[in-house]
Structure 1
């Protein structure tokens, strides 16, 4: 699978974070401390964290430290704005913000409360939680429009968990966004039959299908001219919308599809509405853009 997209430092950071934080957090409570050499408060807090972690070690607590200057990529995923920033991590997820706790007693009180509620040492029933923070990281990069980097992240996750549909689907969508359609097709073709019906794979398949509609520049210009010459040419407008989707212009595509629906919602057996719903699925039904565009669609259909 493709591994392009991450810098060497980012690849190393993801691997080290997986080994140093995510993996042990499957059965332990990890105190995750974001710090830097130049940070005075960090140096004051370090011995407190080390002492508390040592005293709670037999209860399943450990300390992990992230130097924000050396691991900017990881720090950015946790949206660290200032340091020290300290989280309690369990099974790959932040379960408490410990930043405001600066004394042994304050930290101990919070840890005691967490240890009463969490099944520390009980193991993990669902191994997929092991990669959940990395999946979120990949989706975040994908949402920023960086297909190359997202492909690298999802490729690493898929190597770690080849049977995880979200990882494989994310890789395919990232390859599509990066305009690596042959690689995306190969990845989709390699999906096991048992995984093919998973929503994450179906979403990726839809993204690939929409991307294949991308015309060359001359075809796109011809479609624009056809629509300009005859605004009622629904087929030309539909083809133009398909081309815009393939090019990543979701706003322009939605505008043209909504125009068709407003003029004739049943045109071509509802093709414009079906295309728009496919776009919603690819972008993500929880996405704010989808919600806003869905409201426009509802206003046309039912307003």
Structure 2
């Protein structure tokens, strides 16, 4: 989790989460339990989690607990709707939802399956090299060089074809470089397991949004139509989609927020849904997303 664009308390929460969950998950499988003092089912589940995680400690499994009353920001980032909610975390990413594993046998079966698939126990030299190249690719992409970043991520995919961060990075880099057909091919190459990864889902959202790209002349036409017909929701949405695909995300957000304010229920909440898709594609911790989500909250809740 990044800390840019957050207030002081949110940054402190992120720092705690990084220290207690993300860092241990780089070499261990972290069972992350969202709970609260008032939650009866949580109290019933706790002994099961503690017992099984204790028995699996020598296999690289650790238990981390998040009190949702004390860490509301972290719970919100994971979109926790009810408790107990339990995830398995590895290398900073949720890799499985363990919430329905309420018995020792169910939990052990899921942990055994995960441990057979993940390199728990510490990164070897190859894993460390892959992580280094992924970090390099992300840095280059952040600088705006999609072509170079795509080249880096393509090499990483060759080295570690099952690495979801590499696959997600390649798709996002190809989108940034304007190579939509190649990005679509990279998406088509994903198997079911990789497609379920949260980072890959965000990259696929970015690819879907990029599919609305138009030339400058058509964008100007859509902009003019939206300006002339401010209550025409179809015109507003068409412009917002094209504007975002063209890299004009401020204009896109302004148009979508205005739509929500005018008629939030239009087309089953299409404007809000489009905003959420944009948030996922950019990244929920991105400073622009944090600021725009706050704007959306003000529109929705006053």
Whether the 8 Å CA contact 1:134–1:157 is kept in 2: the answer is yes
Residue in 2 that maps onto 1:124: 122
Q: CA deviation at 1:292?
A: 0.7
What does 1:269-280 align with in structure 2 at a 5 Å threshold?
269-280=268-279
What does 1:1-303 align with in structure 2 at a 5 Å threshold?
124-125=122-123, 128-303=127-302
* Aligned mates of 2:281, 2:137 — CA distance in 1: 16
Whether the 8 Å CA contact 1:212–1:246 is kept in 2: the answer is yes
* Aligned mates of 1:166, 1:212 — CA distance in 2: 22
In the TM superposition, what whole-angstrom CA distance separates every residue of 1:21-50 from its partner, at most 9, and x where no partner exists? xxxxx9xxxxxxxxxxxxxxxxxxxxxxxx
Q: Aligned with 1:149: secondary structure?
A: helix
* Aligned mates of 1:168, 1:223 — CA distance in 2: 33
* Aligned mates of 1:132, 1:145 — CA distance in 2: 20
Q: CA deviation at 1:125?
A: 4.7
Whether the 8 Å CA contact 1:213–1:243 is kept in 2: the answer is yes
* Aligned mates of 2:127, 2:242 — CA distance in 1: 36
RMSD of the alignment, in Å?
A: 1.8
* Aligned mates of 1:128, 1:292 — CA distance in 2: 35
When the two structures are superposed, what TM-score results if normalisation uses the length of structure 1? 0.57
Q: Aligned with 2:192: secondary structure?
A: coil
* Aligned mates of 1:201, 1:228 — CA distance in 2: 35
Structure with max Cα Rg: 1
Q: Aligned with 1:213: secondary structure?
A: coil
Q: CA deviation at 1:144?
A: 2.3
Give the paired residue count: 182
* Aligned mates of 1:134, 1:269 — CA distance in 2: 42
Whether the 8 Å CA contact 1:258–1:297 is kept in 2: the answer is yes
Q: CA deviation at 1:194?
A: 2.3
Q: Aligned with 1:195: secondary structure?
A: helix
Q: CA deviation at 1:216?
A: 2.7
Structure 2: state its 5+ residue gaps. Answer: 1-26, 28-120
Structure 1 residues 257 and 205: alpha-carbon distance in aligned structure 2, compared to 1, 3 A threshold: same
Whether the 8 Å CA contact 1:128–1:164 is kept in 2: the answer is no
When the two structures are superposed, what TM-score results if normalisation uses the length of structure 2? 0.57
* Aligned mates of 1:175, 1:167 — CA distance in 2: 12
Structure 1 residues 125 and 135: alpha-carbon distance in aligned structure 2, compared to 1, 3 A threshold: closer
Q: CA deviation at 1:199?
A: 1.2
Answer with 272-281 or 146-155: which moved more: 146-155
* Aligned mates of 2:279, 2:270 — CA distance in 1: 14
